Each structure stands twice: as C-alpha cells, then as structure tokens.
C-alpha cells in the first residue's frame, strides 16, 4: 500500500511543527501539545497557544490498541473520517467540528478543538442532562441521513459515494464484535461470572439469534444512506447549549436506522445506571431525537426530494416506520454487545456496588433481547420507554 | 476518460484481424465475419472459418442505439459484462459462454460462439418449450446468487466486489425505464391508443405506485448479491439440452430475487401470448426454476455457508421467503414496463390480430399489478400460476 510508504506516528513536537506549518496559529505563537487520545485506534494531539486557542490533530494508528499491534487496521479510515465530517458539514455544519486540513498519507486530520465541551457519556455518568442533546442529535440525523440518500441524490452520484465510503475493515469490527461474537460462546466476549447464565441463555436463544441474523443482513446489505456508524455517547461532545458529533471513522452506506438505534441504546444503558427519578430525562431525549429526526427528514423530503416517488402518499411514512423498526433492533443488539461483548460502556461498568452492577447488566440484557425480538410491534419512542420501565430486575 | 482515447468501433475486417491476432483459429484459416447484433447497445461480430468453427467478438458502443447517438453510455459496461461472466463461470460454468479475451480500451470481449443455439425468446414465440430451461436457470441462479453473497464470502471480499460491479449508468436505465417512467405519464412510454385507459389507471393507482416505490428502493439499496440484472428470455440461448445465459452488462450488487423475477415475468408474457393448452409448460418452468434455485441455494448454504448465522434455524427459510416475495414484485413491475414502457417484448407485440394483442396486453397489465400488490401473500410459484389463470380478459 503506497499510503504506508511515508507514514509514521507523530510525536508531540512533530504535531506542533505541523500546526505551525499549516498556519493555523499566529506566527509568533508559543505552542504546547498534549496527546489526549483515550480511544483504541488513534493518536489525538491537542495543541494550544499562550491564549489557550486550541487545535486538534488526530492521527490514525495502523493497528488497534485494544488488541495490541498485532491487529493491523487500515489508515484509510482517516480519509473516511475526514470525508464523512466534510459531508456531514454540508447539511449539518453546526453539529460537527470544523475540519482545517487532512493528509491521507499521514492519516491525519486537523480540526476544531472542542475541549470546552465534554464527552456526553462522561457528563451523563456524572448525572448531567444536556438539555438539547436529543434535539440536536435528531436534527443532525434528519439532515445527514436524508441528504446522502437516494431520496435526495441522483442515484449515480449516490453510487459514487457508496464507493467512496466503502469501509470494509471498520465494518468488519461491527460485523464481528456487534453482530456476531456476543451471540456465540467465543473468546472475545467479556463479562462478569454472574452473567454467565444470562449469556448462555442468549447463546441458546435461537429465536433471538434469528432476529440478530436479519439485522446483521441489513447491516451487510442495505446501502440506504451515509451513516455515522458508531454514534454512541462517547462520539458526542456536548454542553448545555452545544452538541458536536465526532469520530465518524465507521461511516459507510448502511441502514438509515443504525445511528438512532445506537444513540438510543447508549442513553438506555445510562438510564439503567441512574436512580429512577433521573431516568425520565434520558427517555425524553430518545423521544425528542426521534421526533426531531422525523420532522427534519420529512421537511427535507418535501422540500428537496429528488426521487419522484417522494411525491407518493404513504411512502414517507413507510420509510420512517422501516427506519424506526430497524433502529429498535439495532438498539437491542448494541445493548447486548456492550454488556457481554468485547467493548463495554462505562455507564454500566462503573455502577457500584458490584451487586447493583450485575442487576443492571441483567436488566440491560433483558431489555436488549426484548427490543430485538419485539421491534416490529414497537412503533414509538414511548413504547421503547414502556419496555424500559417494564423490564424486571431479577 | 482515458478509456476513450484509442477506442473505435470495429469493422468486420478489423474483427477478423483481431481474431487472427488472438490465435483463436488455426494459422491458415480463411475467416469470414458478419455483424449479427440486434441489441441496442453493442456490435456483435460472428467470425467463422471454412469448417464453420465460430467465435463471437462483442463490442460495446459508446451510445444507446435505441435513442440514437445522442445518449452516451459508458464503455465500462464491457468490463462489467466480461467480469460478470467470468464470476458466474466460477460456479456455474456450464450456463455461460466461455470467455477467451477481453480488452477494456476497445470495450470488446471475445467469447464462445453459441449460434447453434437459439435465443430463448425467439424459440418460445415459435412455440418451442425448451424442456430444461427452468431447471438450468434455477441451477444458474442458485449457484451464482449464493456464491456472490455475504452468506458465502468474507464480507470484506464481497465489499470489494460491490465496488468492482458498481454500475451506475446501466442501473440508471433500469431505475428510469423499469421502475419509474412506466408509472408516470411521460414521453418515453410507448403503447397502443387502446391501452391509454389502462395506462392512466396505473398512473392514478397510488397504492400500486407506493409498492413500486418500495421495490425501486430495494433495487437502489439492497446490495445482496451479484445479480445478472437483465435476465429476460432474450438474454438466454437455448436448445433442448443446453442453456446459456448471456449479456450480463447490467450486473451489479442488488436484490437476490431480481433475476428470478425477470425470468418469471418474461415467461408469463410469453404464456399470455399462447393458446391455453400450451401455457402450462411455461408455468412449469417458473415452478421448476424456483424449486431448483431454492434447492441449489440451500445445498450451497449448508455446504459452503461462511456466515456463522447460516447455522441458525429459520434463517435460510427467511431469506428464501424474502427472495420470493421480492421476485414476485419485480416480475410484476417488469410485466407492466414491457407493456406500456419504452422497451417492449416481441412475445406481446407480435400477437395477431390487433384486438387479441390489445386484450393480451390488458391482461398483462392486470397480472403485473396483482403481482406487485399481492406479493407478500404470494408464497409459491403455484400461486403465481393461479393469479395468471385468474386474471380476467376484458
């Protein structure tokens, strides 16, 4: 691969040199730099001047840290990530960081520093509510998902984008660790001993696995629109007024419901970790995000639908219903894999004491199974909330 | 496009020169050549020696003849066509012509001469039955459609194939002239005056158009497997013992049911043109093709299913049911577009006298509408046959 010829991981001082070369700071600035990455796949440098103006330089690593250097990963994901952010910015610029520069050979992207915001997952775990989170994510999804689809684009343009965002290696991570391994007794899974009976029940639940198979088939085959591909609360920066979606390195043409499903699943897992009185705000975010998504998508459909069938009565409702049903299924799969699969969420893992954590995880698994199995009869976010409230704690 | 730089249409003598250069005939052969193309998009040269050994050289034209030179068409379809035939030959070699040579710059493919066989449509119109047609097409589809899918392939390999077979321009022809124009009052449509009320009924049938919209969405988004993309009876050479599928220039990653749907539609249109006593053999072909397809697909699924979920009870049935339902819908759309859209079939157009032709076409439209609208309750080829027999002649 010619891309690898002059690739090397940046050091902090190399990142500073690059920032100066790019002219993104005033000429005589004194810059300092810290590597702040806590992900598994990238280096993230924050560079600041003496007035604390910041810049982020993100660089893809040619391997996955979670498994060690032995698992190589394409650097092409840096291209996917910066291209996806630029594409999202065309219609939903207020919800993504500004991109200043990208270099495919070094697999780097220089972008807006969002350090004044907080990763939504961390804030939610502290008990914050982020009052505009649902509204902003709904608007982000309504715009980005409509305008990349065959409803808005000439299908020939869309097919070029499908090729541009073909993302086999990152999709493989989702295919394996989201849709497959958690549903089989394989080594990559990770969970507390007390969860073994619940995990075994999942591995033996043929009806559940049939439904997961159908959802995986959708993930593999339905090139509906350019999805973010990894829209959990760790991919969102927020405060009380602002929301920014980051890290679209898993972006590819997939099912329209995928992102809302993952967002919903991650809010539900946070809700499970909270005392009852503080849960409703998260269920409200789930409802608001859908309502705003559907509203934005519908507005764009009416205004900018290029596909002539967008004028046919009933077609928009059909697409929204399909999207919601898919999303509910994807949410269920995400909850299950985050509980017994390889990659967990802190929302559940940090619950104390241990017994409460185990109870919460068992509740999460029950909820996940119900969402997958009953998705065709779950038509509204309110019904998701009902299932959430009904799931028994053992 | 660099491909165009040295492209020029072959003359008959240039085709002979090429055949000699390729060494596909003995050195001192005396070759003759005739252009036998009757399609709209290509030149087809048949080259024979003094012993009547033949060779076909097919060359894509950079425009569509049906519209005139003003409608340019990518020469890349020659690459798609020869690549698709080579891919099909990996698993179903007995049902495709041998490929000897291809040249992307000249957009030519040199392949086995099948002149001893007859185009199936022509034979069916003459009243021939081609006793093995259903069985052979079923086997061809079972093998080619399974082994190009995510069930058989590593999903990363499949994603490379999706890119290789990205076919925007030829798909556009299907998107426009199959799924769109026939359902709206636009200039490209073509039909006898007597059909105007029936055509207008279709254009005003919102329920029908909603179902066609859903089928078009499947065509646009569901990258399940490498389909032939244009499997009508004019794309099949046959005699009593042999069947060969040709012309996969529309090949792309699409819904598994697409090809069986088109094959079925074209047999149904031929059946409509026949006297009642001679129809059953075609309905039998439709049934046999499905049974053999499902059998081959299932055998391959059991034997070579790489996807781990192929081991889950109920998944194969689900996929076959989805495939059949989609196919029934695609068959209905194909029948309608061949009756009032731009490109007709001789089976219906040659019916005499005129009144009988009009009756047959009205019957075709009724059948097409029923297949589209009722596809979710049509579960077997026998039910297709029932609908065929029940459709009233006005």
Return all residues near B305 (Cβ < 8 A) that are at least 6 apart: B151, B152, B311
Please report which confidence band the pLDDT of residue A41 belongs to, taking 50, 70 and 90 as the band edges.
confident
Kindly state the average pLDDT of the residues A13-24: 92
For A254, name the nearest residue in chain B, comparing CA atoms only: B221
For A170, name the nearest residue in chain B, comparing CA atoms only: B156
**Residue found by looking up tokens 């198979």 in the block:** A213
pLDDT in tens, A186-200: 999 999 999 999 999
CB of B353 within 8 A of CB of B286? no
Each domain of chain A, given as residue ranges in start order, spans 12-112, 118-390
- DSSP letter assigned to residue B254: E
Report chain B's mean pLDDT, rounded to a whole number: 94
Whether chain B has a CB inside 8 Å of the CB on A177: the answer is: no
B118-390 matches B12-112 in CATH topology: no
Tokens of A278: 């503080």
CA distance A46 to B184: 56
Tokens of A106: 């070094």
Residues from chain A contacting residue B222 (CB–CB below 8 Å): 221-223
Residues from chain A contacting residue B210 (CB–CB below 8 Å): 312-315, 318
Interchain proximity B206–A314, CB inside 8 Å: yes
Please report which confidence band the pLDDT of residue B393 belongs to, taking 50, 70 and 90 as the band edges.
low
The annotation status of A112 as a binding-site residue, yes or no, is: yes
Whether chain B has a CB inside 8 Å of the CB on A377: the answer is: no
Please report which confidence band the pLDDT of residue A31 belongs to, taking 50, 70 and 90 as the band edges.
very high
pLDDT in tens, A316-375: 999 999 999 999 999 999 999 999 999 999 999 999 999 999 999 999 999 999 999 999
In the sheet with B99-103, reading across from the earlier edge strand, the strands are B32-35, B42-48, B54-60, B108-112, B99-103
Higher pLDDT pick, B166 / A5: B166
Closest C-alpha among A108, A132, A141 to residue A8: A108
Q: Among A206, A212, A314, select the one facing B313 at the smallest CB separation.
A: A206
CB of A223 within 8 A of CB of B223? yes
Say yes or no to pLDDT of B69 above 60. no
- DSSP letter assigned to residue A204: T
Kindly state the average pLDDT of the residues B301-321: 98
Domain B118-390, CATH number (from 3.50.50.60, 3.55.40.20, 3.90.1200.10, 3.30.70.270): 3.90.1200.10
Longest Cα–Cα distance of chain A, Å, equals 65
Count chain A–chain B contacts defined by CB atoms under 8 A: 96
Optimal mutation site among A176, A217, A256, A322, interface B, most CBs of chain B within 10 A: A217
Report chain A's mean pLDDT, rounded to a whole number: 94
CA distance B127 to B26: 39
Interchain proximity A156–B163, CB inside 8 Å: no
Tokens of B239: 């005699």
CB of B248 within 8 A of CB of B81? yes
Q: How many helices (H) and strands (E) does chain A have?
A: 14, 12
CB of A248 within 8 A of CB of A84? yes
Residues from chain B contacting residue A306 (CB–CB below 8 Å): none
Q: Among B166, B180, B217, select the one facing A308 at the smallest CB separation.
A: B180
Angstrom CA distances, A368 to A50, A213, A228, A334, B182, stand at 48, 15, 21, 8, 44
Q: Which of A150-159, A249-258, B62-71, B163-172 has the lowest mean pLDDT?
A: B62-71
CB of B344 within 8 A of CB of B177? no
Q: What is the pLDDT of residue A167?
A: 97
Interchain proximity A155–B162, CB inside 8 Å: no
Binding site for ATP: which residues of B?
A: 42, 58, 112-114, 247-249
CA distance A32 to A52: 9
Interface subset of A 307-326, CB within 8 angstroms of B = 308-309, 312-315, 318-319
pLDDT in tens, B358-373: 999 999 999 999 999 9
Please report which confidence band the pLDDT of residue A391 belongs to, taking 50, 70 and 90 as the band edges.
confident
Q: How far apart are the first and last CA of chain A?
A: 53
Whether chain B has a CB inside 8 Å of the CB on A67: the answer is: no
Interchain proximity B222–A221, CB inside 8 Å: yes
Kindly state the average pLDDT of the residues A100-125: 95
Please report which confidence band the pLDDT of residue B185 belongs to, taking 50, 70 and 90 as the band edges.
very high
CB of B370 within 8 A of CB of B391? yes
The whole-angstrom distance between B148's CA and the closest CA on chain A is 12
Interchain proximity B168–A160, CB inside 8 Å: yes
CA distance A181 to B15: 56
Closest C-alpha among A4, A19, A10, A15 to residue A62: A4
Say yes or no to pLDDT of B87 above 80. yes
Interchain proximity B150–A217, CB inside 8 Å: yes
The whole-angstrom distance between A255's CA and the closest CA on chain B is 9
Interchain proximity A314–B212, CB inside 8 Å: no
Say yes or no to pLDDT of A239 above 50. yes
Please report which confidence band the pLDDT of residue B28 belongs to, taking 50, 70 and 90 as the band edges.
confident
Q: pLDDT exceeding 90 applies to what percent of chain B?
A: 89
| Peptide bond just before A353 cis, omega within 30 deg | yes
Q: What is the pLDDT of residue A392?
A: 64
Whether chain A has a CB inside 8 Å of the CB on B209: the answer is: yes
Closest C-alpha among B104, B74, B78, B106 to residue B6: B106
Residues from chain B contacting residue A210 (CB–CB below 8 Å): 312-315, 318
CA distance A246 to B176: 37
The whole-angstrom distance between B319's CA and the closest CA on chain A is 9
CB of A369 within 8 A of CB of A148? no
Whether chain B has a CB inside 8 Å of the CB on A169: the answer is: yes
Kindly state the average pLDDT of the residues A122-134: 98
Optimal mutation site among B164, B171, B216, B220, interface A, most CBs of chain A within 10 A: B220
Domain A12-112 belongs to what topology? Phosphorylase Kinase; domain 1 (3.30.200)
What SS3 state is found at B98? Answer: coil
Kindly state the average pLDDT of the residues B49-56: 94
Q: Among B184, B206, B312, select the one facing A308 at the smallest CB separation.
A: B184
Binding site for substrate: which residues of B?
A: 230, 337
Whether chain B has a CB inside 8 Å of the CB on A21: the answer is: no
Residues facing B222 on adjacent strands: A222
pLDDT in tens, B89-139: 999 999 999 999 999 899 999 999 999 999 999 999 999 999 999 999 999
- DSSP letter assigned to residue A10: P
pLDDT in tens, A199-236: 999 999 999 999 999 999 999 999 999 999 999 999 99
Q: Which of A13-22, B264-273, B295-304, B374-383 has the lowest mean pLDDT?
A: A13-22
Could you tell me what percentage of chain A is helix, strand and coil, using 3-state DSSP and rounding each to the nearest 5?
A: 55, 15, 30
Say yes or no to pLDDT of B285 above 90. yes
Chain CA centroid to CA B292, Å: 18
CB of B81 within 8 A of CB of B109? yes
Report the alpha-carbon angle B202-B205-B211, nearest 5: 100
Say yes or no to pLDDT of B313 above 80. yes
Whether chain A has a CB inside 8 Å of the CB on B71: the answer is: no
Kindly state the average pLDDT of the residues B9-18: 93
Q: What is the pLDDT of residue B67?
A: 54
Interchain proximity A206–B314, CB inside 8 Å: yes
Say yes or no to pLDDT of B70 above 80. no
Q: What is the pLDDT of residue B2?
A: 43
- Paired sense of beta strands B225-227 and B108-112, if any: unpaired
The whole-angstrom distance between A27's CA and the closest CA on chain B is 44
Residues from chain B contacting residue A224 (CB–CB below 8 Å): 221
| Peptide bond just before B353 cis, omega within 30 deg | yes
Run of H or E residues at B210: helix B206-221
The whole-angstrom distance between A308's CA and the closest CA on chain B is 8
Whether chain B has a CB inside 8 Å of the CB on A222: the answer is: yes
Say yes or no to pLDDT of A70 above 60. no
What SS3 state is found at B277? Answer: helix
Say yes or no to pLDDT of B383 above 50. yes
**Residue found by looking up tokens 């088109």 in the block:** B262
Return all residues near A112 (Cβ < 8 A) that are at least 6 apart: A55, A56, A97, A98, A99, A100
The whole-angstrom distance between A74's CA and the closest CA on chain B is 13
Closest C-alpha among A174, A126, A205 to residue A368: A205
The whole-angstrom distance between B33's CA and the closest CA on chain A is 37
């Amino acid at each position: 691969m010619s891309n690898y010829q002059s690739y090397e991981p940046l050091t902090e001082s190399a990142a500073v040199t690059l920032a100066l070369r790019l002219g993104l700071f005033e000429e005589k600035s004194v810059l300092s730099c810290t590597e702040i990455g806590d992900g598994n796949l990238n280096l993230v440098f924050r560079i600041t001047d003496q007035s604390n103006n910041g810049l982020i330089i993100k660089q893809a690593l040619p391997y996955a840290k979670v498994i060690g250097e032995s698992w190589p990963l394409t650097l092409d994901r840096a291209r996917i990530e910066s291209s996806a952010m630029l594409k999202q910015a065309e219609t939903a610029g207020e919800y993504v960081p500004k991109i200043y520069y990208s270099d495919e050979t070094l697999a780097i992207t220089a972008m807006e520093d969002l350090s004044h915001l907080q990763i939504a997952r961390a804030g939610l775990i502290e008990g914050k509510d982020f009052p505009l989170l649902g509204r902003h994510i709904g608007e982000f999804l309504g715009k980005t998902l409509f305008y990349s689809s065959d409803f808005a684009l000439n299908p020939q343009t869309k097919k070029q984008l499908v090729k541009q965002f073909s993302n086999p290696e990152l999709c493989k991570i989702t295919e394996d660790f989201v849709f497959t391994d958690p549903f089989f007794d394989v080594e990559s899974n990770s969970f507390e001993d007390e969860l073994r009976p619940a995990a075994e029940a999942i591995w033996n639940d043929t009806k559940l696995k049939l439904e997961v198979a159908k959802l995986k088939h959708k993930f593999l085959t339905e090139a509906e629109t350019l999805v973010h591909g990894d829209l959990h609360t760790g991919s969102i920066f927020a405060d009380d007024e602002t929301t920014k979606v980051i890290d679209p390195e898993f972006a590819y043409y997939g099912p329209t419901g995928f992102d809302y499903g993952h967002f919903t699943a991650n809010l539900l897992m946070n809700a499970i970790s909270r005392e009852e009185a503080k849960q409703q705000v998260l269920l409200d975010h789930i409802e608001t995000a859908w309502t705003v998504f559907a509203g934005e998508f519908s507005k764009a459909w009416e205004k900018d639908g290029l596909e002539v069938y967008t004028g046919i009565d009933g077609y928009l409702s059909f697409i929204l219903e399909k999207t919601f049903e898919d999303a509910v299924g994807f949410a269920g799969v995400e909850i299950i894999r985050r509980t017994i699969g390889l990659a967990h969420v802190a929302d559940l893992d940090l619950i104390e004491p241990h017994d409460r954590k185990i109870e919460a995880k068992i509740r999460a698994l029950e909820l996940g199974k119900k969402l997958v199995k009953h998705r065709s009869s779950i038509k509204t976010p309110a019904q998701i909330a009902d299932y959430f409230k009904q799931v028994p704690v053992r």
